[in-house]
A and B are shown apart, each in its own frame.
Chain A
Amino acid sequence: MASERTVNTFGQKVQAAIPALRRYARALTHDADSADDLVQDTLVRALRSEHLFQGEEVRSWLYTIMTNLNRNRRRALARRPVLMPIGDEDIAGAPEAPAGARDIARALDSLGEEQRATLLLVTLEGMSYRETAEIQGVAIGTVMSRLARARAQVRAFLDGERTQLRRVK
């Protein structure tokens, strides 16, 4: 039976994780509104199933919920007949986007869902391999192979873009 004190602690931990969850969601979706939808769904689920939370790391648990929700969301999107591609204007138009940001966003978009999540959890969210494995529900070996493939793919993508640019010029 959760005392008021533990409920508060739980709420505070959830609260503290929101900015980072928004960052991860933004990188997963490339869209501020979709990202906050994802965060909202994650928070609602977390609050509703607090009873089921048994003292693991709150932050990892929230990422687990979000990772699963995003997987479902991607499946739903894939069933739609028309998929809006990430256009140049979406990312290049963002005022805060620094040089190279457009490239990295497109490179991330070229990855498979699970590989992208692995790369983002490790590099953007600073999760350990073990935490990433727990969040994605896979073995550490799988995390490492996804990471290796994701990095190779991003590198090839960025190299390819540079080659193309040179060719155009």
Chain B
Amino acid sequence: MIDRNMPVTEEELHAYVDGELTPERFVVVERWLSAHPEDSARVAAWRAQAESIRARYGAVVAEPVPARLALERLLAQDTGWGRWRNVAAAAAIALVLGAGAGWFARGAFADNPHGQLAQPTAQDGFAAFTADAMQAYKLYVGEVRHPVEVPATDAEHLVQWLSKRVGYRLRPPNLESVGLKLVGGRLLPGPTGAAAFFMYESASGERYTLYCGKTRSPPTALRYNDGGTAGAASAVFWSSDDVAYVISGRGDRKQLKTVAATAYEQLDTPLPAGKSGG
């Protein structure tokens, strides 16, 4: 009843045109318009604008969709990765310098193709680091809504931000060759400072994470940690160039090693001289 006498606002005139009014106010506005020719002219002009816009662009929906927008095709090529690779390549330059030290680790892995990798010992420099990484994995792997702070759609920002906080130029590896896509990343505390945490996911929803940060430990070979119990998350870790890396996942050992080896190969970009030592 109060509604009936309330003056009509400009907002309501827009809402009237856009079908956003309650039925009660709709009636009131209609009555108002019949008594206020200026407002009526405005409403008519807005409607004419909308009709012109629809007349100009509405036919686009009837056009055949060009082949380059076919979803199967986009899924197959995922062209957006081109830009992403450029970012990664730029970040890699810093890492290539002096990465040769990590190369003996390649040999260690190759000598133990059946997973006969050394278990970490208590005195190991980054047992604590691995423990933190596996905690992080367990905490976030089941997270549905917020597995990451910055999604991979914002990869450039993600890498810049985490690099700044962690203190070296990061380069999250591209693991598409083993069926994993980057979901995104977040910043986490590590035993000796900030750590970067990247999450990857397969088409079937398996998640793997890469946890990395600066370390004072000497370079080590790739090592396998089975997580203690059957079915628990396991991890492969290594360090080179003052950076420690932990790849965690719940897949079988072979799969985890494949993922870790792929990441390792990209992170420790080979130097030609290093190959003779492997």
Q: Which residues of A contact B (CB under 8 A)?
A: 1-2, 11, 14-15, 18-20, 22-23, 26-27, 36, 39-41, 43-45, 47-49, 51-52, 54, 65, 96-98, 100-101, 103-105, 107-108, 119-120, 122-124, 128-129, 144, 147-148, 151, 154-155, 158
Contact = CB atoms under 8 A, between A and B. Distances in A.
Contact of B80 (A48, A154, A155): A48
B69 A26 contact: no
A26 B80 contact: no
Contacts of B145: 54
Contacts of B49: 104, 107, 119, 123, 151, 154-155, 158
A98 B55 contact: yes
Interface of B: 10-11, 14-15, 18, 20, 42, 45-46, 49-50, 52-63, 65-66, 68-69, 71, 74-75, 78-80, 144-145, 147-148, 151-153, 181, 183-184, 201, 204-205
Contacts of A41: 80
Given A1-B205, A108-B53, 16 more contacts: A2-B205, A19-B60, A27-B57, A44-B74, A45-B80, A47-B75, A48-B181, A49-B151, A54-B144, A105-B56, A122-B18, A148-B10, A151-B14, A155-B42, A155-B45, A155-B49
Given A1-B205, A40-B68, A123-B49, A48 B54 contact: no
Given A40-B69, A120-B53, A123-B50, A23 B205 contact: no
A2 B49 CA distance: 43
Contact of A144 (B11, B46, B56, B71): B11
Query: Which 5 interchain pairs have the tightest Cβ spacing?
Result: A1-B205, A104-B52, A123-B50, A19-B61, A23-B60
B58 A23 contact: yes
A129 B18 contact: yes
A40 B66 CA distance: 10
Contacts of B153: 45, 48-49, 52, 65
